[in-house]
Amino acid sequence: MTFVRKLILHNLRMRWVQSTSIVFMVLLGVAVLFAFMLVGRGANDGLALSEQRAGAQLLLLPAKAGNYLSDTALLFSGAPVHHYMSSELFEEVRELEGVERATFQFFSQTLDASCCSASGETRLVGIDASSDWLVAPLLDDPAALSDGLADGQVIIGAAVDGFEKGTGRLLNNDVVVAAVMAATGTGLDSSIVVSADWARQLAAAIAGYQPFWELNGQPETLISAILLDVQPGREERLEAKLEALGDLRIVERSAVVAQTQQRLRAVFALLAGVAAVMALASLLQLCARYWSLSWERRGEFALYRALGATRGDLRRLICGEAFVLTGAGALLGLLVGGGLFALLLAQLSAAEAFPFLMPSIAVIALIALAVVAAFALLALLAIIIPLQRVARIEPALALQQTDIG
Amino acid sequence: MAIAFNTQTVVSAEGLGRSFASTTVIADVSLKLNRQSTTALVGPSGSGKSTLLSLLGLLLDKSAGHLELFGSSVESLDAGTRACCRRLGIGFVFQHTQLIGALRAIDNVLVQTHFLHAEDRKVLMTRIEGGVTTLPKRALVLLEAFGLKDRVHHFPHQLSVGQKRRVALARALLLKPPLLIADEPTNDLDAISAQLVCEALFSAAADGHALIFATHDNNLARRADVTVSLGRAI
């Protein structure tokens, strides 16, 4: 064990309250900053990606669907909507002046490990391959949708697992994975896509869904959502026509994205404020600690000077100690920050739907590095004055001491 | 600036003085320390013995006079060279031992080695057989020679005053410095410990060190080749 490490361990032991408080303060600051930066980055990326990939400009749903779900939940979270409308409505909408293109989707039950290969909660979505332009661009095999989807063929979202070998089980049926979608940061990532016809057949066989069919008609005549793009300059007129069609919930993507961005900005400003306060508190704590350290240990430093240590040697000693304490706090902080990140994500997801894209390992590593570097810089700032004080210690001071520490 | 540590005359002082504010602690002290010489500083408490030793050990700056160490005037030495002199040229046995409580006896002896610079290794190669790599072994040998074989891994608080003084002496002798300074080395020691420390100091002088020590012990002072009396004589 090196001399410096021995001294640091001794210092930790002898002044354990102060040393632990430094480590704890750094730990807290790093954890908060790390977790907040991960949430911020994931939400930012999710929002950008969902804006880029969410596709349709307008989402039309039965009006009742909006009674208990917000627009953001409908657009981003992929919350299951068991409300249906007649497929004839789709034909009407498609024919409206100003519609650039339109497609429909049929939402079925939420799947889990009890019925399917998917281990997590997964949404089953039926699409109309002939009119779809939303799913096709996301596929790893762009040709997979060119001939439509046969019964027993599925497209899985980026976050769906359990189909690694290209096959799996879905509501007592063997299925083959035709393609995998790229991540979108939305509920599509946790969706299994099948043809709308097969989705309806599967839904018709679910005993618990009979009340839906009694209320709305047989599933083969129903759809859940219409998605459409509008010709430029026709937005207002088309919206008026859509409203005239009756009980429709119209979700405008750009408005929802803007609103979500605004909310997220407010949340992140708050998070950034908390992180800044934590960083400042850490800086003050470190300053106070090293200020007192340079006073408490001046006899020890004087002895080193008397034994031939240069001012540079003492600076290296102080820096080493500061960085070891900061490093320990930072490493522990990253671990705690990872846990805090998971907790925050769960809380934010439960409280408000927003698009989120889990940062890659490389991004997480980069953020971790940035946070640690930031706290290393704080430690450096905190020891500047103590370093100057220690460098001024004269070796003659050693004569006034007894045993050191 | 490179220092020639192998000079025969280790210290040469003329009219040395030191004042603190308006108080003159020592004035007009002249002495010369050669290798293998032993010098005793005597005088009542407050007569400036420790101050003089601090001046010679480059722990304090002089206020007056001329001081040469290893043939170089101390005025001409920059801070780095002065530190180098303290590291390689001077072994200091402090009055209160000044061991580091965090470190075991062996690590206290070796503490100076952690501040060695690259160029120091060349100097030590000529001074100690095997150079710096043998220093841990040399530290053990010194502790054993001072009767501390079974105290090597003890912390200072587990040692008696006499044992601590011997650890401090081993620390001072580790790098075989040409100048050995001891401030009241037998103070507070029992007769046996005092005898052990004295023998170690005089043995080091016989080996080529220049030894100067402050003491209130007349018997010890009488063993020195030269006695310098400060202030009122005992």
pLDDT at position B210, please?
94
pLDDT at position A401, please?
58
pLDDT at position B225, please?
94
Provide the CA A330 distance to its chain's centre, in angstroms: 22
Chain A residues in contact with B164 (beta carbon < 8 A): 403
Name the residue in chain A with its Cα closest to that of B95. A399
CA-based nearest residue to A87, from A72, A69, A76, A103: A103
Whole-prediction pTM? 0.65
**Model confidence pLDDT, tens digit, residues A86-102:** 888 898 888 888 899 99
Chain A, residues 56-115, CB within 8 A of chain B, namely none
Mean pLDDT in residue range B25-41 = 92
DSSP label of B71: T
Mean pLDDT in residue range B132-160 = 92
Contact (CB, 8 A) for A283 and A275: no
Q: Alpha-carbon distance A189 to A157, whole Å?
A: 4
Provide the CA B89 distance to its chain's centre, in angstroms: 9
Q: Please give the biggest Cα pair distance in chain B.
A: 50
Query: Which range among A112-121, B130-139, B208-217 has the greatest average pLDDT?
Result: B208-217
**Model confidence pLDDT, tens digit, residues B184-195:** 998 888 888 888
Residues pairing with A404 in the sheet: B100
Other beta carbons less than 10 A from residue A176's beta carbon: 12
Mean pLDDT in residue range B51-56 = 92
Chain A interface disruption, residue of B1, B25, B98, most A CBs within 10 A = B98
Start-to-end Cα distance in chain A: 19
**Model confidence pLDDT, tens digit, residues B63-77:** 999 999 999 999 889
Q: Alpha-carbon distance A391 to A384, whole Å?
A: 11
pLDDT at position B6, please?
82
CA-based nearest residue to B212, from B172, B170, B174, B163: B172
Contact (CB, 8 A) for A354 and A48: no
What phi, psi does A185 have (nearest 5°)?
80, 5
Q: Alpha-carbon distance A11 to A23, whole Å?
A: 13
Q: Alpha-carbon distance A126 to A345, whole Å?
A: 29
CA-based nearest residue to A46, from A251, A187, A140, A141: A187
CA-based nearest residue to A61, from A84, A94, A95: A84
Give the lowest-confidence range in B31-45, B112-126, B136-150. B112-126
DSSP label of B88: I
CA-based nearest residue to A271, from A345, A333, A359: A345
Q: Alpha-carbon distance B28 to B66, whole Å?
A: 10
Residues pairing with B38 in the sheet: B211
Q: A1 CB near a chain B CB, below 8 Å?
A: no
- Tokens for B36, please give them: 């293998």
pLDDT at position B25, please?
85
Contact (CB, 8 A) for A268 and A38: no
CA-based nearest residue to A353, from A259, A228, A227, A226: A259
Chain B residues in contact with A313 (beta carbon < 8 A): 115
Flag residues of chain A having pLDDT under 70.
1-15, 49-55, 65-81, 112-114, 118-120, 185, 349-354, 398-405
pLDDT at position A1, please?
43
Residues whose CB falls within 8 Å of the CB of residue A190, separated by 6 or more in sequence, listed in order: A78, A120, A121, A122, A123, A157, A159, A160
Q: Alpha-carbon distance B49 to B26, whole Å?
A: 8
pLDDT at position A7, please?
59
What type of residue is B169?
A: L
Other beta carbons less than 10 A from residue A393's beta carbon: 21
**Model confidence pLDDT, tens digit, residues A27-55:** 988 998 899 889 888 888 877 766 665 56
Contact (CB, 8 A) for A355 and A48: no
Inter-chain contact A399–B95, Cβ cutoff 8 Å?
yes
Q: Alpha-carbon distance A390 to B50, whole Å?
A: 24
CA-based nearest residue to A126, from A71, A70, A55, A202: A202
Chain A residues in contact with B58 (beta carbon < 8 A): 395
Inter-chain contact B115–A310, Cβ cutoff 8 Å?
yes
Least Cα separation, residue B61 to chain A (angstroms)? 9
What type of residue is B140?
A: L
**Model confidence pLDDT, tens digit, residues B77-125:** 998 899 999 999 999 999 888 898 878 899 899 988 888 888 888 888 8
- Tokens for B177, please give them: 């410095």
Chain A, residues 295-324, CB within 8 A of chain B, namely 300, 303-311, 313
Q: Alpha-carbon distance A389 to A111, whole Å?
A: 66
The mean pLDDT value of chain A amounts to 81
Contact (CB, 8 A) for B101 and B157: yes
pLDDT at position B234, please?
35
The mean pLDDT value of chain B amounts to 90
DSSP label of B83: H
Least Cα separation, residue B98 to chain A (angstroms)? 4
Q: A396 CB near a chain B CB, below 8 Å?
A: yes
- Does an H or E element contain B1, and which? none
Inter-chain contact A395–B103, Cβ cutoff 8 Å?
no
Q: Alpha-carbon distance A241 to A356, whole Å?
A: 33
Q: A402 CB near a chain B CB, below 8 Å?
A: yes
DSSP label of A113: T
pLDDT at position B140, please?
95
